Structure formats: structure tokens, C-alpha cells
Amino acid sequence: MRTTIKLLTIVAPTTLALLAVSACTGAAPDPIVGGTAAPTSSTGSAPVSSSPPDLLPVLSPVETLVDSLSVPWALVRLPDESLLVTERETGEIKRVADGSVRTVGTLASEVAAAGEGGLLGMAIGPDFEADPRLFVYYTSPADNRIASLDYSEDGLGEPQEVLTGLPKANIHNGGRIKFGPDGYLYVGTGDAAAPAAAQDPGSLAGKILRITTDGDPAPDNPFGDSPVYSLGHRNVQGLGWDSAGRLWASEFGPEIDDELNLIEPGGNYGWPAVTGAPGADGFIDAAVVWPSTAASSPSGMAIIDDVAYIGGLRGERLWQVPLGTGVAEAPISAFDGEYGRLRDVIEGPDGTLLIATNEDSQSRVLSVTAD
């Protein structure tokens, strides 16, 4: 039986109208947290507390690792501690090491960088040292797709198709890919401007997918021989796992109700029928809701020591969300408006966070100490 996550604070329709006005005026209502009764799902969902965390890492100072990037989208650390960066518009993959940056490969001839599309997510497999391949998610002239490329410091091989036919549009292309603790590749897609597709199990739009490195549906996926892992998503932007192996995903809302969701296999997260956490039957409510996208637009996410660090695009801030043992507590923001739009966040070396800003040709990668 699927457990529905219930909010501690339910947002009434009249309140939603007020929040929509707040979003347009740039106000920033506090995030709302919610949860379930007792854990019954395989993800181990747990009650959510609205009490503030007792202790969070102190974030300081900020160091610029590299600047003058062109709209970076995804960051990946390699085993040799060098850093790879995708650039959405140029289609280039750049390597940052020893204070220098250079292009190691380009998909410019493959990528159609229009609207929100382009070269988006990137991941490396858990056996990268034995099988050095990059996996990338990008918008082609025909669709969104995933390809793999052999990697070396001297350059990249030709892209090899892994999964094609992901719906594309000028907006809502999803794009985040990450390997989970189980070794399978998880893929966040958007509804590609066709909201009803998010509720169609036969469509790959508005979903989280779970696939093998060859692009096949992972064994024991919840919908049989299908890559679909969860549905009812608007535009998934961040993926991460806590210490118990539970999957969390950040998601853009429609001007209101940006979300952090605790993902259950086979779970339906409501879009477009509902957003946020209205307590609707048959849908899983968000664990955290940001009522106004003016303060949020949660993008890339890293989970370290059961704290989710989520970059805010329109919100231009870094959100810290303590997760505990499956419990999402009240988010706390840092760097409000100091560094512009924050697109991706990953774990860096020696207790640091690496953050990609998203400010056209003046984008940077920042290193932040988390003590």
C-alpha cells in the first residue's frame, strides 16, 4: 500500500491565491514542511517536523575556483579531484584542475540549445576508474536524450546513445542525472510543456526514470518493463540520497509551490492535478514546499551528512534542509542574493561544497567550506 505524505500545515485555496500574488510581487513566504504518519513504504518515509534544526554546518568562506564560464549546468568530481562542468549553450564540457580550465570535449554539433534546452546533466558511473565513461543528458534537434562518451584527459570519444525519445520543448526539459547507491542511473525529466503527460505512465515526460548504463529499464522497476520510477512531476532539477539510501528530488513549481520530495518507487506526485501538499487522495505530498518561486526555484542538490544543500535559481541563495533519518525540517537559506543564480551543488573535497552559478558568460564555480 502506498503511503501518502501529509502536510502539517495545509494550504487552503484562498491562501494559494494570496501566495500567487506574493510570487508575482517578489515576496518570499517561509517554506512549509510536511510528512507522513508511520513509515510503510520502501523508502522509509517518516514524520516531518516543523521545528528548527539544532545545528547546521557553518558555511564560510567562499572561494572562486573558476570564472567566466558560459551558463554552466552540471558539475562532476572525478576520482583525481579534477572537476568537469557542462555548459548548456556552448555544448562544451570543461575540466577544472590545478587552477586552470580547458575544454575536453564538445557536443555542439549534437546539441540544440534553445530555451531551457541544451547540454544539461552529467554523471559518472560508480566504476569510473575501470570504465571511464561520462553520461550526459542533452537536447538534440529531435528530443532530449542521454548518451555516454569515453573519457580521457586528452579528450572525449563520440557520443553513444543510451536513451532517446525523451520529450523536449522550449521549457521544462528536466535534465538531472545521477547514479544511485544501487548502481543504476536515475533521470529527472520535465513535462516538456505538456502537463498531462506527467500523469501518463506511457510517457517519459514529467518522470523520474531508473535505467541501466545501456538504457534498459532497471530490474524491479515499479511499472514492469518501463524505465519509469515515479510520475506526476513538473520539472525535476535535483536528485540526491540520504544516509539510509532514500531518494529525494527538488522540483520547480508553477510560480508557487516549488517542492522537495521524498521519492517512493511507483509514487505519483500530483502534477498537474495538484502542487505542493494539499492532502489530495492518491498523490504523495511534497515534504517541503516553497510557496513562492521568487525565493526558491530549487535546482541542483547535494545531500551530505543528511543535510540537503539546494541551489536556488530565482531565489539566488543556497538552501540547507536537515533530513535527519527521513525527516525534513525547516529549510534555512544562506548567501541570499550574494552570488546570483545557483544552478548546481555537489560535494567537494575536505568538507567543502562546490556550487555553479548561472549568470550567462560571467558564471563561476564557488567552493564553500561547511564546518
Task: Please identify every residue annotated as catalytic.
Answer: 172
Bridge partners, residue 64, by sequence? 366
Q: 46 and 5 in contact (C-beta within 8 Å)?
A: no
Integer Cα distance of 308 and 241 in angstroms: 9
Integer Cα distance of 116 and 236 in angstroms: 13
Rg (CA), the chain: 19
Beta-sheet strand order (sheet of 207-211) = 177-179, 185-188, 207-211, 228-231
The residue among 175, 116, 174, 110 whose CA lies nearest residue 142 is 110
The set of cell numbers assigned to 177 is 542525472
DSSP assignment, residue 70? S
The set of cell numbers assigned to 16 is 494559494
The residue among 189, 89, 197, 208 whose CA lies nearest residue 143 is 189
Q: How would DSSP label each residue in 210-275?
A: EE-TTSPBPTT-TTSSSSEEEE--SBEEEEEE-TT--EEEEE--SSEEEEEEEE-TT-B--TTT--
Integer Cα distance of 97 and 114 in angstroms: 30
Strands 92-97 and 32-35: unpaired
From first CA to last CA, the distance across the chain in angstroms is 41
Integer Cα distance of 48 and 117 in angstroms: 35
DSSP assignment, residue 196? G
Integer Cα distance of 23 and 290 in angstroms: 10
